[in-house]
Structure 1
Amino acid sequence: MAEIARLPILVLTGFLGSGKTTLLNRLLRDGPRTAVLINEFGQTPVDHELLERQDLPLMTLSGGCLCCQIKGALAPVLKNLWLAWGKPGAPRFDRIVLETSGVASPEPVLDTLLRDRWLAGHYALQGVVATLAVPAAAGQIDHFPEAKAQAAWADALLLTQADLGTPADLALLESRLDALAPAVPRFQAAHGAIDPAALLAAMLGAERKMPGGTEVPGHGFRSLSLHLRTAVSWPLLREVLENLLDRHGARLVRIKGVVHLRERFEPVALHGAAGRLYPPAVLAVRAGQDGLGRLVFITAGPLDGLDGELLEGLRGHLAEGSLRWH
């Protein structure tokens, strides 16, 4: 029996709100047939709804990071995916893209991919791409070990949101990367413009650092999720979310979700990070949607009172019992 070539696997990493899903969507528009594995820190998965393509094999691992809380889940999922791929009539794909959570260190993920003998025999690591948002990444590298590790373990660095940052932001980030990852190729993306071919070509022949195999200390991030049972007016929702970002500053590191607004028929995606709430992005209407809005808030440690503020600000819109800390 002829030996089957190893299946390429590409790892996307980057801190919360740095543009990993935007990059993933760009990679899926053309190129090889792809299966997608998304790891979300929050208990309520959202990112899969943000994918432009829904006609591909897709799996979500939620409720923790692959680097710590659910590290042991990665190997069984990849083994099952390989076995399913080999069955007659199964959906065909030529690579896997793994999008890690925004608070995950890549080292334990790489440790699993490279040191597990079965996985190393069936999967070939194509590379690690880290996204870094120009307006915020230097500060994130300074304050969060996870952001520093993401840049340090990358084979290519994609500097995103360059159009939203200042020349000083870019210079500060470049200085951090000069010290942290001086030899790693860097690319800039403004207005979401990305050249996937150049990004992937830059990783060919990259010298592979082997993980140390040591346990990564648990981080202090927490998530709060909620469901909205009714459509909300955009002015009200914007006011509530902007007030939360202003009030809690750097401790509220990420807001993301898919919601229904009174002003639109289609659902919209919402993103907030580094103190900024971005305009809603319109999504396609898809069969099987349940009409509920979903929001996830990720905090750096406990954030007392956040749930009470959301209860007060969105009174009458929350589904009963849906507001939960994880």
Structure 2
Amino acid sequence: MEERIPVTVLTGFLGSGKTTLLQRLLNCEEGAGVAVMINELGEVALDHLFVQKLTESTIVLKNGCICCTMREDLQTGLRELIDGCSRGIIAPFNRVVVETTGLADPTPIAQTLDGDLMLRRQVRLANIITTIDAVFGAEQLDTHEESMRQAAIADRLVLTKTDIATPEQIALARDKIHKVNPMAMVLDSNSPESLWPMLFDIDPFNPDTKSAEVQAWLSRLPHIKAADAMHGEHHHHHHGEGEEHVHHYHEGYHHDENEIQTFSIRTEKPLNWTAFAIWLSALVHRYGKQILRIKGLLNVPGALGPVVLNTVQSHITPPMHLDEWPDEDHSSRIVFIVQGISPKMMQTSLEHFLSILED
């Protein structure tokens, strides 16, 4: 009988609903035995705040895409979970779910788990689950190689946001998915049925069942050092705090090839929600497809808890008001992932807009 701990990789492009799906799975009865590792881009981590109340066993890997140095953090994080459980510091768990960033290539993870002899005795790659946005997924599969790779290597694909997508968008997304990965089962995240058995009670990850292209990706990763060398062209610039402003600015991940940049803005002052909403609406109207992802927690005047912000391209999700803050930090924290837009320009624009309204 297999005694190694199964590791499930949850991946999917920016804003495709990975954390929302993870929350749903953790709320299942079976979710009580799950430990979680969340990989986030940039200096400001937010996603873990929405799952840490559902599981005490949560580790955050910041500033990476689980290629390059983040692979070492993945190994370290798994060892910390296993060691913490054995020493009684972490609650017992029977599965680990690794949620990647939206720009991660999950291929190196499979090699990392198999290439570490110590880890291989304790954990095994169980399966790879990929979320696909029903609204923007077809376009993302065409224009972003990361999205295509995430879908191609998956054992199960979960189509999200079908409640707000048109029938035409859903059909187009399913058609694109079938072309990229015709063998994988496609599930609807809004299905009333439990997704747990359909996602986890399946055969383990098997490279031999993948397409010739996916097998070629895996074969190019013979061992960790060689794989790390392959990613030498990725440039990860991790800068400290920028010049002093009302809003502190942090520049993070920068993918030179397609000008994808991640940066964050933080402010201690309560944020004028009406003013910010007007600025955000103008921003997405002007730049649309270049806004790959915006997420944040906003401290607005008069509210007990924060406003949760979620934006993908031109779609701004209706804001959700939380009854209380998920942590002791009550500052407004906003993470931007954009393509071909100057972070400094966006920061200056927001500060200027807010200052006009305050005068």
Regarding TM over 0.5, the answer is yes
**Contact conserved, 1:23 with 1:194, CA < 8 A, in 2?**
no
1:15 match: 13
SS in 2 for 1:314: helix
**1:57-136 pair list within 5 angstroms:** 57-68=57-68, 70-88=70-88, 90-136=90-136
Question: Structure 2 counterpart of 1:195, which letter?
Answer: S
Q: Which runs of 4+ in 1 moved over 6 A?
A: none
**Contact conserved, 2:79 with 2:119, CA < 8 A, in 1?**
yes
1:296 match: 335
**Contact conserved, 1:113 with 1:119, CA < 8 A, in 2?**
yes
1:257 paired to 2:296: yes
Question: Structure 2 counterpart of 1:308, which letter?
Answer: T
Unaligned runs of 5+ in 2: 209-214, 222-226, 235-254
1:193 positional shift:
5.5
SS in 2 for 1:262: coil
- Once the two structures are aligned, what percentage of the paired residues are identical? 30
**Contact conserved, 1:252 with 1:300, CA < 8 A, in 2?**
yes
- Structure 1 CA distance for aligned equivalents of residues 354 and 265 of structure 2: 11
Question: Structure 2 counterpart of 1:177, which letter?
Answer: I
More helix by share: 2
Q: Which residue of the other structure, out of 255, 260, 280, is the alignment partner of 1:241?
A: 280
CA separation of 1:24/1:10 partners in 2, compared to 1, >3 Å: closer, same or farther?
same
**Contact conserved, 2:23 with 2:54, CA < 8 A, in 1?**
no
1:91 positional shift:
2.1
1:306 match: 346
1:80 positional shift:
2.3
1:208 match: 207
Question: Structure 2 counterpart of 1:6, which letter?
Answer: R
Question: Structure 2 counterpart of 1:300, which letter?
Answer: Q
- Structure 2 CA distance for aligned equivalents of residues 87 and 225 of structure 1: 36
- Structure 2 CA distance for aligned equivalents of residues 203 and 137 of structure 1: 25
Question: Structure 2 counterpart of 1:104, which letter?
Answer: A
The total of aligned residue pairs comes to 315
Tell me the alpha carbon deviations over residues 159-212 of structure 1, each in whole angstroms, 9 at most, x when there is no partner: 00011111211121122112110010001123x857322432563355335623
- Structure 1 CA distance for aligned equivalents of residues 64 and 85 of structure 2: 26
SS in 1 for 2:65: coil
- Structure 2 CA distance for aligned equivalents of residues 167 and 202 of structure 1: 30
SS in 2 for 1:225: strand
| Larger deviation, residues 272-281 vs 47-56 | 47-56
| Larger deviation, residues 233-242 vs 285-294 | 285-294
1:287 positional shift:
7.2
1:111 positional shift:
1.6
**1:270-285 pair list within 5 angstroms:** 270-285=309-324
- Structure 1 CA distance for aligned equivalents of residues 54 and 129 of structure 2: 23
Tell me the alpha carbon deviations over residues 280-318 of structure 1, each in whole angstroms, 9 at most, x when there is no partner: 12234257512211000011245362222122233399x
1:255 positional shift:
0.2
Name the TM-score, length of structure 1 as normaliser: 0.88
Question: Structure 2 counterpart of 1:199, which letter?
Answer: M
CA separation of 1:201/1:282 partners in 2, compared to 1, >3 Å: closer, same or farther?
same
Structure with higher RCO (Cα < 8 A, 6+ apart): 1
1:274 positional shift:
2.4
Tell me the alpha carbon deviations over residues 217-272 of structure 1, each in whole angstroms, 9 at most, x when there is no partner: 53442111011212223221211112111222222210001112225221121100
**Contact conserved, 2:263 with 2:335, CA < 8 A, in 1?**
yes
